A and B are shown apart, each in its own frame.
Chain A
Amino acid sequence: MTDRLYEPRIVVFACNWCSYTAADLAGTTRLKMPACFTVVRVMCSGRVDPLYILQAFALGADAVLVTGCHPGDCHYTSGNLHARRRVDFLKQILDRLGLTDRLEMHYVSAAEATRFQQLLTTSAERIARLGPSPLRASLAALPPHKRDAFRAMLQHLAAQLPGGRTDGFTIPEEMVTEGFGEPEYDRERCIGCGACAASCPEHNIELTDGDGTRTISQFHSRCVRCSTCEQVCPVEALRVVARFDLAAFLSDERRPAVELELATCARCGKPVAPVRQLDHLKQTIEEIEEIVPRRDAVLCAACHRQAHAAEMRQHMKTVNLVS
Chain B
Amino acid sequence: MTPPARIGVFVCHCGHNIAATVDVEQVVAAARRWESVVYADHYTYMCSDPGQRLIRDTITEHALDAVVVASCSPRLHEKTFRRAAHAAGLNPYRVEMANIREHCSWIHNAGEQATAKAVRITRTMVEKARLDRPLDDLVFDVTPAAVVIGAGIAGIQAALDIADAGHQVYLVERSPSIGGNMARLSETFPTLDCAQCTLTPKMVEAGQHPKIEIITCAEVESIDGYVGNFAVRIKRRPRYVDWDLCTGCGDCLEKCPVKNIPSEFDVGIGTRKAIYTPFPQAVPNKPTIDPETCIWFGPPTRSGKKRCGVCAKICPTGAVRFDDTGEVREVEAGAVVVATGYRLYDKARLPEYGGGRYPDVIDSLQLERMLSASGPTAGELRRPSDGAPVRSVAFIQCAGSRDVNHNPYCSKVCCMYTAKHALLFKHKVPEGKAYVFYIDLRHAGRDYEEFLVRAQDAGVVYIRGKGASVAHDPDAARGRGQLVVTAANTLTQRLAEVQVDLVVLATAMQPAEGVQELASRLKIGLTPDGFLSEAHIKLRPVESMTAGFFLAGAGHGPRDIPETVAQAGAAASKVLMLFSHDQIYSDPTIATVEDQDCIGCGHCLEACPTQARVIDEGTGKVRVTEALCLGCGACAPACPTGAADMLNFSDEQLLTMLRAALEPPEATP
Which of A73-81, A164-172, A251-259 contacts the other chain? A73-81
Closest beta carbon of chain B to A215's beta carbon, Å: 24
Within 8 A of B (CB), among A26-71: 26-28, 30-35, 38-44, 46-52, 55-56, 59-61
| Distance in angstroms between the alpha carbons of A138 and B659 in the assembled complex | 10
| Distance in angstroms between the alpha carbons of A149 and B641 in the assembled complex | 9
The 8 Å CB contact of B545, one of A38, A77, A180, is: A77
In the complex, the answer to whether B102 meets A23 with C-beta atoms within 8 Å is: yes
| Distance in angstroms between the alpha carbons of A146 and B74 in the assembled complex | 30
Closest beta carbon of chain A to B653's beta carbon, Å: 10
Which of B87-95, B439-447, B593-601 contacts the other chain? B593-601
The 8 Å CB contact of B75, one of A20, A144, A179, is: A20
In the complex, the answer to whether B106 meets A28 with C-beta atoms within 8 Å is: yes
CB of A145 closer than 8 Å to a CB of B: yes
In the complex, the answer to whether A224 meets B640 with C-beta atoms within 8 Å is: yes
In the complex, the answer to whether B633 meets A50 with C-beta atoms within 8 Å is: no
Knowing A16-B75, A47-B646, A146-B651 are in contact, say whether A26-B107 is a contact too (CB < 8 A).
yes
| Chain A residue at smallest Cβ distance from B638 | A178
In the complex, the answer to whether A44 meets B73 with C-beta atoms within 8 Å is: no
| Chain B residue at smallest Cβ distance from A34 | B108
Most buried by A among B536, B607, B642: B642
In the complex, the answer to whether A147 meets B640 with C-beta atoms within 8 Å is: yes
CB of A276 closer than 8 Å to a CB of B: no
Knowing A27-B107, A35-B117 are in contact, say whether A77-B641 is a contact too (CB < 8 A).
no
CB of B525 closer than 8 Å to a CB of A: yes
In the complex, the answer to whether B662 meets A43 with C-beta atoms within 8 Å is: no
| Chain A residue at smallest Cβ distance from B121 | A38
Closest beta carbon of chain A to B610's beta carbon, Å: 8
CB of A270 closer than 8 Å to a CB of B: no
In the complex, the answer to whether A35 meets B662 with C-beta atoms within 8 Å is: no
Within 8 A of A (CB), among B613-669: 630-634, 636-642, 646, 649, 651, 654-655, 657-659, 661-662, 664
| Chain B residue at smallest Cβ distance from A143 | B642
In the complex, the answer to whether A30 meets B106 with C-beta atoms within 8 Å is: yes
Chain B residues within an 8 Å CB radius of A44: 632-634
In the complex, the answer to whether A145 meets B597 with C-beta atoms within 8 Å is: yes
In the complex, the answer to whether B603 meets A39 with C-beta atoms within 8 Å is: no
Knowing A38-B120, A59-B662, A178-B607 are in contact, say whether A76-B102 is a contact too (CB < 8 A).
no
Closest beta carbon of chain B to A74's beta carbon, Å: 8
CB of A211 closer than 8 Å to a CB of B: no
CB of A115 closer than 8 Å to a CB of B: no
Chain A residues within an 8 Å CB radius of B600: 201, 226
Within 8 A of B (CB), among A132-149: 138, 142, 144-147, 149
The 8 Å CB contact of B640, one of A9, A59, A78, A179, is: A179
| Distance in angstroms between the alpha carbons of A182 and B631 in the assembled complex | 31
In the complex, the answer to whether B601 meets A226 with C-beta atoms within 8 Å is: yes
In the complex, the answer to whether B637 meets A27 with C-beta atoms within 8 Å is: no
| Distance in angstroms between the alpha carbons of A24 and B639 in the assembled complex | 31
Chain B residues within 8 Å of chain A by Cβ, number: 57
The 8 Å CB contact of B658, one of A21, A24, A55, A179, is: A55
| Chain B residue at smallest Cβ distance from A47 | B633
| Distance in angstroms between the alpha carbons of A49 and B636 in the assembled complex | 7
In the complex, the answer to whether A40 meets B657 with C-beta atoms within 8 Å is: yes
Knowing A33-B107, A79-B609, A226-B599 are in contact, say whether A40-B636 is a contact too (CB < 8 A).
no
Knowing A55-B655, A144-B642, A146-B641 are in contact, say whether A40-B601 is a contact too (CB < 8 A).
no
CB of A96 closer than 8 Å to a CB of B: no
Chain B residues within an 8 Å CB radius of A228: 599, 601
In the complex, the answer to whether A41 meets B74 with C-beta atoms within 8 Å is: yes
| Distance in angstroms between the alpha carbons of A52 and B637 in the assembled complex | 10
CB of A82 closer than 8 Å to a CB of B: yes
In the complex, the answer to whether B642 meets A35 with C-beta atoms within 8 Å is: no
Closest beta carbon of chain B to A26's beta carbon, Å: 6
In the complex, the answer to whether A38 meets B117 with C-beta atoms within 8 Å is: yes
| Chain B residue at smallest Cβ distance from A33 | B107
Chain A residues within an 8 Å CB radius of B114: 35
In the complex, the answer to whether A60 meets B662 with C-beta atoms within 8 Å is: yes
In the complex, the answer to whether A149 meets B654 with C-beta atoms within 8 Å is: no
| Chain B residue at smallest Cβ distance from A72 | B537
Chain A residues within an 8 Å CB radius of B631: 43
| Distance in angstroms between the alpha carbons of A50 and B641 in the assembled complex | 13
In the complex, the answer to whether B632 meets A32 with C-beta atoms within 8 Å is: no
Chain A residues within an 8 Å CB radius of B102: 23-24, 26-28
Closest beta carbon of chain B to A138's beta carbon, Å: 8
CB of B80 closer than 8 Å to a CB of A: no
Within 8 A of B (CB), among A187-212: 201-202
CB of A86 closer than 8 Å to a CB of B: yes
CB of B401 closer than 8 Å to a CB of A: no
CB of A225 closer than 8 Å to a CB of B: yes
Closest beta carbon of chain B to A141's beta carbon, Å: 11
The 8 closest A-B pairs by CB, nearest first: A27-B102, A46-B634, A226-B601, A47-B633, A146-B642, A224-B640, A179-B640, A201-B599
A and B contact pairs by CB, cutoff 8 A, 6 listed: A27-B73, A35-B113, A44-B634, A56-B662, A76-B630, A228-B599
New A-B pairs, 12, CB < 8 Å, besides A146-B639, A226-B602: A11-B662, A20-B73, A23-B103, A41-B74, A42-B654, A43-B633, A86-B637, A117-B107, A145-B597, A179-B601, A179-B640, A226-B599
* Residues of B that sit less than 8 Å from A by CB: 73-76, 99, 101-104, 106-109, 113-114, 116-117, 120-121, 124, 525, 536, 545, 589, 597, 599-603, 606-607, 609-610, 630-634, 636-642, 646, 649, 651, 654-655, 657-659, 661-662, 664
